[in-house]
Structure 1
Amino acid sequence: MISVARHYKPYLIVSGIGLFFALFSCYVFATSIFDGAGGLLTLGFLVVMPTSLGAVSAHFTPKATSGTWRLFWNPLLTVLLFLSTTLLFHLEDMICVLMILPLFMFTATIGANLYDMWTSKRPPRNQSFALTAFVIAPFLAGTFETWYVAPTDFRRVENTILIQAPTSVVWQHITRVPTISSAELSPSLVIS
C-alpha cells in the first residue's frame, strides 16, 4: 500500500476534487445536451471550466498554504492532472492536449486568483456560495451557447483547367504519375 505523509493528504484531496470536477464537466459537455453549441468546443468548456477548476482548487487548498501554491502551482498541477488523465484514458489526443494546455493553465490561474479576491475577507458561508457560482458557471455558459447556433454557409467552388492533349495521354498521366525530380521542387524545410 502506498503511504503518503499526512501533510500531503490535503493536496491529494484537492487534486482529486479538481479532477472529479473536470472529468464530470468533460462528460457533461460531451453528451448530447451541449451538441447544439459545439460540445467540448464551447467557450463554457474551453474557458469557463478551467477558470472554475482554478477556483475549486483554491477553495479546497488549506488556508495555511502559501499564496503562491494556492493561487498558482495548485491550479496548474490540477490542470496537468486532468489533461494527463484524458490522455491516459484516451479521451483526448496529444495534439489536442498540447494545444489547450496554455489556455487551461492561464485560465485556471485566473480562476484561482478571482476566487481569492472575491472571498479573501468574507466568511466561510459566502466562500461556499462563491464556489457554487464558479462550479455552475461552465454549465450556464454552455447552456447560453446552445441558444446561439453558428450560422452555416455552403458554397461550391469549381476550378477548370483546359489541357491541350488527347484523352489517352491525360489518362496515362492520371493512372501512372511520373516520378517527380528534385529540380521540379522548390526548396523547403522538409525537402532538401
Structure 2
Amino acid sequence: MSDSPTKPTAKPIAPAEPDEPSPWDSAEDPSRLPFGKFGKLTPIVCGMVFGLLLRLAFSGAPSSRWSAMVGAFIWLVPLATGAITVYLAERQQRRSWSYYAWAPALATALVVIGSLLILIEGLICAVVIVPLFTFMGMAGGLCMGLVCRLTRWPRHAAYGFAVLPLAAALVLPQGAPAQMGQVERSLWINAPASVVWEGITNIRNIQPHEVNTAWTYRIGVPPPVEAVTVQEGSQRVRKSRWAKGVHFDEIIQEWEPGRHLRWTYRFGPDSIPAGALDDHVAIGGAYFDLNDTAYTLTPEAGGTRLHLRISYRLSTDFNTYANWWAQALLDNFAQTVLQLYKTRLEGSA
C-alpha cells in the first residue's frame, strides 16, 4: 500500500447555460406556452388576438396619432403580428421557412376579418388593406424566423416587435402629405351630342342592375340613384343622390351645352349618414376627397364620344399603395357610369 495521499477527483465543469432557453425547447413541454397543448393553430390564434388588441388601441379620431390610418398602424401592426405569431410557434417547435410566411399571413388576415366581425372596420377598408397587411405580416414572420435561427435572444426581439407600433405612434410626426391624381375614360355613344348632354345633366331612377358590373359597389360603396341639375340663384347645381341616404351637391363651374361640363363638390354635415361609407374613405374626409369631375362631348362617326375625367386627393402615410387602389376603384366607377349612359342614351336615341 502506498502512503501517498489520494488525489482528489476533479469535478467536471458544467457547461455554461445560455442566457435564454432556445425557443424551440418547449416542444417537449407545451405548458411553457399558454394553451400550447391545444394544437398547432394556437400561435396563429394568439397572433390574431394580439393584432386585434393593437387595432383597438388605434381607434382614435381621424388625423390623430392613434387613428387606424397612421403609418405606425398600417406598416408596423401587421409586422408585429407576424413576428409574434412566429415567436410563439417557435416556442413549440422548430418551424420551416414556409411556415414563417404563411402563418403570419393568415394571422394578419384574421385580424382584418376580426375587425369586421366586431364592427370596428368597414368592408371597403378591409378589402383594400388585406393585401398590404398580409405582405407586412409575412415580412415580420420571416424576420422573427431569422432571429430565432441565428440568435439566442428571440424573446427580446419579440418584445421589441410588440411595442414598436405604440412607440412609433408616439414619436412619428403627424400629418400626411397630400397627393393629387386623376382618372380618365371615354366611350363612344351612338346618339347625338344634344341627347348625351341631356343625359349627363339629368339622369333619374338608376336601377341596381344598371351598375351591377361595378365591383366598387359590391364592396360597400353606395350606388348612384339620380343626378338632377337645378338653378339656385345665379348658380347651376347638379343634385346627386346615392343609396344609403348619401346626397351632395355638384357645383357647376364650366357649362357649355353639348360640349363640356365640369363641377366641384359640396358636402353638408348630413351628406354622408353614419355607416353609409367607411370613415377612412369618406369623400371630403381627412384622407380622401374628390376635387372635380368633367365631361367633354365630341362628335364622332355619327355619334358622340363622351370623355370623363375625375380628379381626387389622397392624404395618407401610404399614398403610393392607396393611390393604386384609388386608380382601380375610380377607373371601375368611370367605366360603369359611361356604360350606363351608353345603354340608356342609345335606347332613347
TM-score (norm 2): 0.40
The letter for the 1-side match of 2:156 is: F
Map 1:123-162 → 2, pairs under 5 A: 123=152, 126-145=153-172, 147-150=173-176, 159=253
Moved over 6 A (4+): 160-163
Instruction: Spell out, residue by residue over 1:115-138, the C-alpha distance to the aligned partner (whole angstroms, 9 max, x if none).
Output: 122331222xx1100000000111
1:30–1:39 contact (8 Å) kept in structure 2: yes
Q: How far off its partner does 1:151 sit?
A: 7.7
Q: Which has the higher helix share?
A: 1
**Aligned residue pairs: how many?**
159
Give the Cα separation in 1 of the matches to 2:156 and 2:58. 23
Percentage of matched positions with identical amino acids: 20
The letter for the 2-side match of 1:133 is: G
The letter for the 2-side match of 1:94 is: L
Question: Mean Cα displacement is larger for which, 15-24 or 52-61?
Answer: 15-24
Residue of structure 1 equivalent to 2:194: none
2:108–2:137 contact (8 Å) kept in structure 1: yes
1:55–1:114 contact (8 Å) kept in structure 2: yes
Residue of structure 1 equivalent to 2:151: 122
Give the Cα separation in 2 of the matches to 1:115 and 1:59. 7
Query: Residue 150 and residue 96 in structure 1: after superposition, are their counterparts in 2 closer, same or farther (change >3 A)?
Result: closer
The letter for the 1-side match of 2:158 is: L
The letter for the 2-side match of 1:131 is: A
Q: How far off its partner does 1:87 sit?
A: 1.5
Quick one: which of 9, 14, 17 aligns to 2:38?
9
2:144–2:157 contact (8 Å) kept in structure 1: yes
Residue of structure 1 equivalent to 2:95: 65
Residue of structure 2 equivalent to 1:81: 110
Quick one: which of 22, 42, 49 aligns to 2:70?
42
1:119–1:130 contact (8 Å) kept in structure 2: no
Query: Residue 82 and residue 150 in structure 1: after superposition, are their counterparts in 2 closer, same or farther (change >3 A)?
Result: closer
> What SS class does the counterpart of residue 36 from structure 1 fall into?
coil
1:113 maps to 2:156: no
> What SS class does the counterpart of residue 58 from structure 2 fall into?
helix
2:60–2:68 contact (8 Å) kept in structure 1: no
Query: Residue 160 and residue 121 in structure 1: after superposition, are their counterparts in 2 closer, same or farther (change >3 A)?
Result: closer
Query: Residue 8 and residue 74 in structure 1: after superposition, are their counterparts in 2 closer, same or farther (change >3 A)?
Result: farther
> What SS class does the counterpart of residue 41 from structure 1 fall into?
coil
Instruction: Spell out, residue by residue over 1:141-167, the C-alpha distance to the aligned partner (whole angstroms, 9 max, x if none).
Output: 11123x434589xxxx9947699xxxx
The letter for the 2-side match of 1:39 is: S
Residue of structure 1 equivalent to 2:83: 55
> What SS class does the counterpart of residue 14 from structure 1 fall into?
helix
Residue of structure 1 equivalent to 2:228: none
Query: Residue 79 and residue 31 in structure 1: after superposition, are their counterparts in 2 closer, same or farther (change >3 A)?
Result: same
Give the Cα separation in 2 of the matches to 1:105 and 1:135. 17
Which stretches in structure 2 are left out of the alignment for 5+ residues? 1-35, 179-250, 258-302, 308-334, 344-349
Query: Residue 65 and residue 117 in structure 1: after superposition, are their counterparts in 2 closer, same or farther (change >3 A)?
Result: closer
Give the Cα separation in 2 of the matches to 1:38 and 1:93. 18
Q: How far off its partner does 1:10 sit?
A: 3.6
Give the Cα separation in 2 of the matches to 1:24 and 1:135. 11
TM-score (norm 1): 0.69
Q: Which has the higher strand share?
A: 2
Q: How far off its partner does 1:186 sit?
A: 3.5
Q: Which structure has the higher relative contact order (CA within 8 Å, separation 6+)? A: 1
Give the Cα separation in 1 of the matches to 2:39 and 2:151. 22
Give the Cα separation in 2 of the matches to 1:98 and 1:150. 22
1:18–1:56 contact (8 Å) kept in structure 2: yes
Give the Cα separation in 2 of the matches to 1:50 and 1:31. 18
Query: Residue 185 and residue 162 in structure 1: after superposition, are their counterparts in 2 closer, same or farther (change >3 A)?
Result: closer
Give the Cα separation in 1 of the matches to 2:137 and 2:167. 18
Higher Cα radius of gyration? 2
